Amino acid sequence: AGKGGVIDTWLRKHRLIYIGATRHPFILAIRDGTVNYSSFKKWLGQDYIFVREFVAFAASVLIKAWKESDDSEGDTEVILGGMAGLHDEIAWFKKEASKWGVELSETVPQKANQLYCRFLESLMSPEVDYTVAITVFWAIEAVYQESFAHCLEPDTNTPPELQEVCQRWGNDGFGQYCHSLKKIANRLLEKASDDLIVGKAGDDVLKKAEVELIRVLEHEVEFWNMSRGTA
């Protein structure tokens, strides 16, 4: 891969869908202060359901990292740190839901959410390569990091009551964590492309990682669409 690694090469190649996921009208509405609060509440309830599913996916990635190697690179610590973050996030969702009057126990997953969760479930299988799974894991976290960090830039009109939400994924610590995940993914993708050169089975892994990355971006767009009530 060229400079910046495999991931940046793919993001350049699939730029439009990446922009679609990280600069969605729902995010732009938060950023310019025109967000519809019923959309926000819908997103909150649906994302809580998604995050619970995402915890199980994270656990499956952790197991793959642990099986993969001697872990001299410290992959499991990074993933475990992410899981600790998800633990906080679940508590935060409960607090936030009660603040906004969203009844989580009565929230039912909508179609786009169900499809996204089903997609995650398919990737929890032991047959799915660690390289593919960590690429997906990075992409899911990175979309939220990019999206919410965009709402915290100078000269935005993000409403004060939504600043904390944006901080959750837009803060520097979360940015660092996403960077660590990206480094792991790039390292493994680089290895898969080296395997390709020496005639080992790297082609399948690379192709699948790229395909699943695009699927993540598509699911993220659908997820935002659902929150806005356009899907």
Q: Which residues bind ligand HMH (CB under 6 A)?
A: 47, 50-51, 54, 140-141, 143-144, 220, 223
* Minimum CB distance to ligand HMH, residue 197 (Å): 34
- Other beta carbons within 10 angstroms of residue 64's beta carbon come to 22
CB closer to ligand HMH out of 1 and 20: 20
Q: Which residues are catalytic?
A: 220
Side chain identity, residue 78: V
CB closer to ligand HMH out of 75 and 141: 141
* Minimum CB distance to ligand HMH, residue 140 (Å): 5
**H or E segment and range at residue 210:** helix 203-228
Spatial neighbors of 178 by CB under 8 A, at least 6 apart, are 138, 141, 142, 145
* Minimum CB distance to ligand HMH, residue 120 (Å): 10
Rounded distance between C-alpha atoms, residue 79 and residue 74, angstroms: 9
- Other beta carbons within 10 angstroms of residue 162's beta carbon come to 17
Angle formed by the axes of helices 130-150 and 15-22, nearest 10°? 50
CB closer to ligand HMH out of 10 and 177: 177
CB closer to ligand HMH out of 143 and 189: 143
Minimal CB distance to ligand HMH: which residue?
Answer: 144
Radius of gyration of the chain (CA): 18
The structure tokens 């126990």 sit at 105
* Minimum CB distance to ligand HMH, residue 170 (Å): 12
**Residue 131: closest CA among 31, 202, 179:** 202
* Minimum CB distance to ligand HMH, residue 50 (Å): 5
Q: What does the angle CA 182 – CA 58 – CA 50 come to, to the nearest 5 degrees?
A: 105
Cβ atoms of 123 and 133 closer than 8 Å: yes
CB closer to ligand HMH out of 141 and 210: 141
